């Protein structure tokens, strides 16, 4: 009944990380290449402003994120590439979903609890409502699948709850129950300074993350200084038990090479970490430096990026306008 369609987004909240790249963007590209689904990829600027953003920085970061998508292999002809605020139906459906979702559901979101911290009273209302807007981002396309990192699993479950409640309340079968696609060796890339915390663009700890714009020396230095596990590499995954920092570096290596963790361990068994980190740095530089130089080239022509996004918004609205109209009709508007 529903066209196989993939939607996913990334916040332009400053710098793309290796976590975004391995957990999300490489999957966006492989889905586009597979040709099994229509693919829609989004810079979610409306989500970014749930926490304070400096206006010029937000504008810059949105273009830079778009350059990152393009440099990594998203083709704006084969995929629809958009910036969220330029497709107003996202926010319009988001409001409807604010009225479908329950306060209790939102209060249980672990990301809300993490980000609001102990001072929820001071958090923006948008930060609390964020997952309802995310559900709208997905469902305004009737997307059937969402490739994401593990940190987004709970939000996709909430998206299904919102779709199911809408369908039930209005006695329709209008919104699909979207499936998350969480696979590969790097569904959760961890901080290089603390293997128990996710690598994030908003982590202030110096050296905790690799940015796609880092130059070769910076990448090598960050891996060299990554938290080190003194033990040599084991022959199988079982030997990584209780070694989150070691496991993280091996996962990153496997994901960058597109191989399994077991295959990487078999090859490097018994190697000391200092040596492995050097191999990892070389591999990361080899994979990431073509992307960062292409990003820099694209950023020299921001008008071209703006044209690509304007064109993406036009194409997106061919899908979103009819779905919003039908939603309003169902609701009685
Ligand atoms: P961030 O947390 O870096 O601000 P976003 O919230 O914009 O990133 O997430 C964009 C995409 O990148 C999502 O699909 C998310 O699951 C994925 N992602 C973010 N951080 C990681 C990570 N450390 N490991 C794997 N995937 C990640
Ligand atoms: Na996130």
Q: Is 24 in the pocket of ligand 1 (CB under 6 A)?
A: yes
Domain boundary assignment for the chain: 5-181+302-331, 216-296
CA 187 to ligand 1: nearest atom: 25
Q: Model confidence at 206, in pLDDT bands (50, 70, 90)?
A: confident
Q: Is 184 annotated as ligand-binding?
A: no
CATH class of the domain at 5-181+302-331: alpha beta
Edge-to-edge strand list for the sheet holding 80-83: 80-83, 38-43, 5-10, 145-147, 179-181
Q: Model confidence at 202, in pLDDT bands (50, 70, 90)?
A: confident
Residues with active-site annotation = 115, 198, 201
What superfamily in CATH does domain 216-296 come from? Tyrosyl-Transfer RNA Synthetase (1.10.240.10)
CA 198 to ligand 1: nearest atom: 23
ipTM (interface pTM): 0.94
Give the mean model confidence (pLDDT) for residues 186-207: 91
Give the mean model confidence (pLDDT) for residues 250-269: 95
> Percentage of the chain with pLDDT > 70?
100
Name the helix (H) or strand (E) containing 82. strand 80-83
The confidence score (pLDDT) of residue 286 equals 96
Q: Model confidence at 331, in pLDDT bands (50, 70, 90)?
A: very high
Instruction: Tell which wins on pLDDT, 301 or 231.
Output: 301
SS3 176: coil
Nearest CA to ligand 1 atom 18: 20
Decide if pLDDT at 186 tops 90: no
Instruction: Tell which wins on pLDDT, 88 or 235.
Output: 88
Nearest CA to ligand 1 atom 12: 20
Q: Is 202 in the pocket of ligand 1 (CB under 6 A)?
A: yes
The confidence score (pLDDT) of residue 34 equals 97
Q: Is 200 annotated as ligand-binding?
A: yes
User: What is the chain's mean pLDDT, rounded?
Assistant: 95
Residue 245: which residues within 8 A CB-CB, separation 6 or more? 190, 195, 226, 227, 228, 229
Q: Is 251 in the pocket of ligand 1 (CB under 6 A)?
A: no
Residues 327, 333: Cα–Cα separation, whole Å: 9
Given this chain, do its domains 5-181+302-331 and 216-296 carry the same CATH topology? Answer: no
The confidence score (pLDDT) of residue 117 equals 87
The confidence score (pLDDT) of residue 185 equals 78
Q: Is 211 annotated as ligand-binding?
A: no
Number of Cβ within 10 Å of residue 225's Cβ equals 13
Give the mean model confidence (pLDDT) for residues 135-139: 98
The confidence score (pLDDT) of residue 37 equals 97
Q: Is 50 in the pocket of ligand 1 (CB under 6 A)?
A: no
The confidence score (pLDDT) of residue 229 equals 83
CA 186 to ligand 1: nearest atom: 25
The confidence score (pLDDT) of residue 234 equals 92
Instruction: Tell which wins on pLDDT, 117 or 143.
Output: 143
SS3 179: strand
Q: Is 194 annotated as ligand-binding?
A: no
Give the mean model confidence (pLDDT) for residues 218-223: 94
Nearest CA to ligand 1 atom 4: 201
The confidence score (pLDDT) of residue 109 equals 97
Q: How far apart are the first and last CA of the chain?
A: 25
Shortest-distance ligand to the CA of residue 84: 1
Q: Is 189 in the pocket of ligand 1 (CB under 6 A)?
A: yes
Q: Model confidence at 32, in pLDDT bands (50, 70, 90)?
A: very high
Distance 168 CA to ligand 1 centre (A): 31
Name the helix (H) or strand (E) containing 146. strand 145-147
Q: Is 152 in the pocket of ligand 1 (CB under 6 A)?
A: yes
Distance 134 CA to ligand 1 centre (A): 14
Distance 189 CA to ligand 1 centre (A): 9
Q: Model confidence at 53, in pLDDT bands (50, 70, 90)?
A: very high
262-280: b or e for each residue (b if 16 or more CB lie within 10 Å)? Answer: eebbeebeeeebeebbeeb
Q: Is 194 in the pocket of ligand 1 (CB under 6 A)?
A: no
Q: What is the pLDDT of residues 228-253, one digit of tens each?
A: 888 999 998 999 999 999 999 999 99
Q: Model confidence at 1, in pLDDT bands (50, 70, 90)?
A: confident
């Amino acid at each position: 009944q529903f066209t196989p369609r993939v939607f996913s987004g990334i916040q332009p909240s400053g710098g793309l990380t290796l976590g975004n790249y391995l957990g999300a963007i490489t999957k966006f590209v492989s889905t586009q290449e597979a040709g099994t689904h229509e693919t829609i990829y989004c810079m979610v600027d409306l989500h970014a402003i749930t926490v304070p953003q400096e206006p010029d920085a937000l504008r810059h970061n949105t273009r830079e994120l778009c350059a990152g998508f393009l440099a990594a292999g998203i083709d704006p002809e084969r995929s629809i590439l958009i910036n969220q605020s330029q497709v107003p139906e996202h926010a319009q459906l988001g409001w409807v979903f604010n009225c479908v979702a329950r306060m209790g559901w939102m209060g249980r979101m672990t990301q809300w609890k993490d980000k609001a911290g102990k001072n929820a009273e001071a958090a923006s209302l948008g930060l609390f409502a964020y997952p309802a807007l995310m559900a709208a981002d997905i469902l305004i396309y009737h997307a059937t699948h969402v490739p994401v990192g593990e940190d987004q699993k709970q939000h996709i479950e909430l998206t299904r709850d919102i779709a199911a409640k809408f369908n039930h309340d209005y006695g329709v079968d209008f919104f699909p129950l979207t499936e998350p696609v969480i696979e590969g060796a790097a569904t959760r890339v961890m901080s290089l300074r603390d293997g128990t915390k996710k690598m994030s663009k908003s982590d202030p700890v110096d050296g905790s993350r690799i940015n796609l714009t880092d130059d070769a020396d910076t990448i090598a230095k960050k891996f060299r200084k990554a938290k080190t596990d003194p033990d040599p590499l084991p022959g199988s995954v079982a030997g990584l038990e209780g070694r989150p920092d070691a496991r993280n570096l091996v996962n990153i290596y496997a994901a960058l090479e597109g191989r399994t963790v077991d295959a990487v361990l078999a090859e490097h068994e018994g190697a000391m970490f200092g040596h492995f980190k050097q191999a990892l740095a070389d591999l990361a530089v080899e994979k990431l430096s073509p992307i960062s130089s292409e990003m820099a080239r694209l950023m020299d022509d921001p008008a071209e990026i703006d044209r690509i996004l304007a064109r993406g918004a036009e194409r997106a609205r061919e899908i979103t306008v009819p779905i919003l109209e039908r939603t309003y009709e169902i609701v009685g508007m």
